[in-house]
Structure 1
């Protein structure tokens, strides 16, 4: 039975390998290759903080875990993970070495303490004195003293110190690299104007070690970086006297004490220091102890300094205005017709403009919106605050449990409540992941409603790099259903099932979206069995829900044409008895493919939905999610065309198969890159002057 599914965590590693492939691809611009290395590293950090930590906890509850993970033993999966990660880490190191050679061709150099010019040595010493030293706290390590608290996500410099006359006697110390405060990269002066020299903060500190430890009399220093990844999960207690916000705050504090799930170190590290650290951290062979290169916390390289002169941003990577919204009030347009925004090709401005217009419109009475991950300087929040100041009733459903955004969302809660916004914090044991907004206005004693439904977060920063859809509409059915969702969120003790059952225009989770998806698949199965055309196209970030995968198997056995575009986790496997093999691809390119879309042929009537939910059990059964049906004829065609463009990709599409080989689709001699073709398709909709 287990061979009918690919293990979830192993397929996720296959996705991260696709990210690494982008860094390895010499056709990708150099600065983007460095960024992909940063994304790969950040992804892996979160994977160990969440999934590997969960696997280790699950080893104590094997029966439950095996059921949820397609009959895979946690120990077996952990072994597979370690084997794959070590291999990927080797490819990562090779790729970074190659990229540095290409950077050198452009006269861009990563400098260390060993290869500074005299001028640069003076600069680095002065920079350390003026900017860094006040943020550096050296900690001496002793055999008989407990290991000091090490922060997750932080980078540390492990130092072995000796006196030359007593070379065999070492003292050890660690220093946390204060990149949060100072930044990771330092641009150094150069006599050659065409040359760019970048130094990492840990190397600035390493250069100044004799100064830092001068009062100890040591004259021989060896230093190497390491980091510890910790279990990021926390449990919320059941104390009815504390609010959810207080429980989240307590959980964040407890997360800092999480057990280590991975120890990554420079393979050149002093052997005695390495053994000392492993012993002090109570790590064993069961833990992920991974030797790496010199540089760690590579996630910072997503923001590598802009030192690449030869790169000019192509036209296809610039956002443009939606043609129907140019020089028009968004409010006026969407009361007459639906508008589909496709990011990052379309500018995000209309979303903010709509909220700004609503904040100023004297007829607008209320705004209700969900928030999961907000931009750091959110224009969405600014518009909502302006609405409150103008006398509107504003309600924000703020998901405090958005993983790794808990602290920032607690801060947003305080800011919003101080301004008079009514903040909802959700339902016990169910995250609110739906992307919804409804605006109400009263004109001549008549209530008018409009708003939007999205596949992605209301975040103007990520909208520049995440591929998503957002439907702006005044459809009465959709607005009525959004109101029903907010009514449930206002009364978290309500029977959710009963309250959401009457939704007719939105597919909602928990429960009802799953039921509707199964109904749609069953309809296609019936058509296939009758010998008629039956087809479905599903675009999602992850496909791991067992019952839906089995339903896809049933459809493929009946002869339904199934085409899947899955960015990340993909647990399905083609079976021998399928009448129609499942066609599955994954696209990894400059933009993160984040949209969720469902297409069902439905006897030629073509049902199309955009959704916030992935095909994962957690989304369908344990979250509040929403999918909106696209009903306007021109928009249905547009969404279908965009799906077909992606299905024809033969540049950035990889085949998803049982062996997880990430082989590129090679169909046809003419290159067809879907993100570039999507740009041209949407740009061509702009009327020619």
Structure 2
């Protein structure tokens, strides 16, 4: 029978709908509801910059080829996307109105230029004059002149201006809102100390339009915001005389000239101005032209001012030091003796920083090798590595310059690291390095001791506070040997890495054999199920879209293997009628972003478990350097499986992933409510080692 798949991009919109559900949930604290609205908006921006742009480019290719990549014709997917996005935007607008009502109950208001008190008017005029005006550059628009360059991710005010003596003519202008220079939110003075009045920067500018254009003599102004989302992909040229860093810099510049993929505007905008902008931007009916409410670029609301009544952070949201490190002076001493599994953000990330700091100062440490994909703005990881160099250690950083939207910051990190004497590797020209690895070597009594860590998430202490990930610290010799082999391959980008990577015996490494090993594990479960014996697997991932692995899941479900999936985002599998055991798939969206990748196979009772940097996506399995590390110690296997089982019992924040992507919550059929992120905290806090 023909097999069904849900289109990847449609299932991604299903994930973003789950984010919006959190904003809709009145049991969620008000500041978090606002943050979820910001996350929803930011996610959607990136979706249009990357995925919608890709679909539009794909329409230029033969339909048969593209259908195999996208599961459906790109033109049909784009039609579905537009319908879903408009529907979600309506839900977003209703939610924001509801949130504002809740804000009013706490005496927090966002005021526009029409509803200011006399003292607030004076404040806004003075604030604009002293803080904002120097950053405001009005641009007049003309029929016979090309549209000025509009920066991606920026917010713009579209202005229609008239004089009273003009009957049918308007002058148009645009102003880029200088959010980077001035911030998005301005707190206004109030007569009631319990009341908090905020004003958005664009409204500060709109209030001052008569002042800005005073020398033109205009009498009437109508002003509304809009934003343009552009294609964010760029191609790297094949010039062998150009370094990868130079190619990335060139690509970043070309990204700024990307074609518009979405135009979002205030539906109250002057109709003639709207038509003028659409014409000047060369937009057509096939482009996403989306009418919206007054406020755009809602991503800034992720950093909404702290103006609400004191929110008492639940104890379950406070990170704590892993018990193995609580009563020791040195993390290193523990790791050399035993493996430790850290689960963030429940466990403090300080232990990772401490290990690197200890290594930087330890006179016996000779070298540190580490991969870097997305780093914190003032990275403590990098600071520790620089200190290590200054203390005479040989430090190597595999820095992935092509980490999407982090290219510019990684170029700056490259410059700083090289200036400090760090050896910077840039990987291979045709594949990203996404594996999260670190190996530290020390020499004691003429003997080399190796230890380090492997993670499911970035080495980033900032995101580790909100991303739920696993990191295992180990000194296992076989694991360290494999990590060394990967770094050996990375140090020789002009040499085919196949032989070196295939010699790894413990880590599952892509693109060489991770896929094959996963399939082999599933095949063993299928054999056991067909023999009438226990067969079970649990997969936790961010995305499941690789068609080959999904077909293998279908084969396993048809044979009777019990399959449980915890997938945060994209999930393209669909239960088929011939399945002996239906796949149980859920998605958990809560205060922390579920980011870990875990694989569990019953394996005749051996219970093989891995944590990994790789999702079940073709790009991760075939086109990136990825690594999955086996969990070898029985107590850690038991701990990790217990965490998976807690999530599988979630009946508060878990949604069912089904064919129609209805995002229905798992039904609470027991008296006990299980919110997995809270229960995981309790479980880890009470663990005895």
Q: What TM-score do you get using the length of structure 1 for normalisation?
A: 0.99
For 1:274, the equivalent position in structure 2 comes to 274
Distance (whole Å) between structure 2 residues aligned to residue 552 and residue 465 of structure 1: 31
For 1:213, the equivalent position in structure 2 comes to 213
Q: What are the within-5 Å matches in structure 2 for residues 25-44 of structure 1?
A: 25-44=25-44
**Structure 2: 5+ residue runs without aligned partners?**
none
The CA deviation string for residues 525-572 of structure 1, in whole angstroms up to 9 with x for no partner, is 000000000000000000000000000000000000000000000000
Distance (whole Å) between structure 1 residues aligned to residue 488 and residue 167 of structure 2: 72
1:493 aligns with 2:501: no
For 1:265, the equivalent position in structure 2 comes to 265
Q: What are the within-5 Å matches in structure 2 for residues 225-244 of structure 1?
A: 225-244=225-244
For 1:421, the equivalent position in structure 2 comes to 422
Distance (whole Å) between structure 2 residues aligned to residue 403 and residue 637 of structure 1: 36
For 1:598, the equivalent position in structure 2 comes to 599
CA contact (8 A) 2:3 2:576 kept: no
For 1:676, the equivalent position in structure 2 comes to 678
CA contact (8 A) 2:501 2:512 kept: no
Q: What TM-score do you get using the length of structure 2 for normalisation?
A: 0.99
For 1:435, the equivalent position in structure 2 comes to 436
For 2:250, the equivalent position in structure 1 comes to 250
For 2:455, the equivalent position in structure 1 comes to 454
Aligned-pair distance for 1:113? 0.3
Aligned-pair distance for 1:64? 2.2
Distance (whole Å) between structure 2 residues aligned to residue 313 and residue 570 of structure 1: 33
Distance (whole Å) between structure 2 residues aligned to residue 439 and residue 459 of structure 1: 18
Distance (whole Å) between structure 2 residues aligned to residue 358 and residue 283 of structure 1: 56
The CA deviation string for residues 352-373 of structure 1, in whole angstroms up to 9 with x for no partner, is 0000000000000000000000
CA contact (8 A) 2:502 2:512 kept: no
How many residues align? The count is: 686
1:474 aligns with 2:475: yes
The CA deviation string for residues 158-210 of structure 1, in whole angstroms up to 9 with x for no partner, is 00011123253210000000101111111111110000011100000001000
Aligned-pair distance for 1:345? 0.3
Distance (whole Å) between structure 2 residues aligned to residue 2 and residue 182 of structure 1: 56
1:165 aligns with 2:165: yes
1:387 aligns with 2:388: yes
Distance (whole Å) between structure 1 residues aligned to residue 313 and residue 196 of structure 2: 20
Aligned-pair distance for 1:65? 1.3
For 1:90, the equivalent position in structure 2 comes to 90
Distance (whole Å) between structure 2 residues aligned to residue 247 and residue 379 of structure 1: 28
For 1:69, the equivalent position in structure 2 comes to 70
- Check 1:3–1:30 CA distance in 2 against 1; reply closer, same or farther (3 A cut): farther
Distance (whole Å) between structure 1 residues aligned to residue 581 and residue 553 of structure 2: 11
Aligned-pair distance for 1:628? 0.5
Aligned-pair distance for 1:310? 4.3
For 1:358, the equivalent position in structure 2 comes to 359
Distance (whole Å) between structure 2 residues aligned to residue 258 and residue 2 of structure 1: 39
For 1:630, the equivalent position in structure 2 comes to 631
For 2:129, the equivalent position in structure 1 comes to 129
Distance (whole Å) between structure 1 residues aligned to residue 37 and residue 265 of structure 2: 17
SS at match of 2:441: strand
Distance (whole Å) between structure 1 residues aligned to residue 164 and residue 688 of structure 2: 73
SS at match of 2:169: strand
Aligned-pair distance for 1:495? 2.1
For 2:322, the equivalent position in structure 1 comes to 322
Aligned-pair distance for 1:3? 6.0
Distance (whole Å) between structure 2 residues aligned to residue 63 and residue 455 of structure 1: 35
The CA deviation string for residues 442-471 of structure 1, in whole angstroms up to 9 with x for no partner, is 001100000000000000000000000000
SS at match of 1:168: coil
Aligned-pair distance for 1:63? 3.0
Distance (whole Å) between structure 2 residues aligned to residue 218 and residue 434 of structure 1: 59
Q: What are the within-5 Å matches in structure 2 for residues 505-584 of structure 1?
A: 505-584=506-585
For 1:118, the equivalent position in structure 2 comes to 118
Distance (whole Å) between structure 2 residues aligned to residue 421 and residue 665 of structure 1: 50
Distance (whole Å) between structure 2 residues aligned to residue 685 and residue 432 of structure 1: 34
Distance (whole Å) between structure 1 residues aligned to residue 649 and residue 667 of structure 2: 10
Task: Name the stretch that deviates more: 271-280 or 159-168.
Answer: 159-168
SS at match of 1:504: coil
SS at match of 2:448: strand
Distance (whole Å) between structure 2 residues aligned to residue 251 and residue 194 of structure 1: 50
Distance (whole Å) between structure 1 residues aligned to residue 217 and residue 103 of structure 2: 39
- Which ranges of 4 or more aligned residues in structure 1 deviate by more than 3 Å? none
> What is the root-mean-square deviation in Å for CA atoms of aligned residues?
0.9
Q: What are the within-5 Å matches in structure 2 for residues 598-617 of structure 1?
A: 598-617=599-618
CA contact (8 A) 2:230 2:261 kept: yes
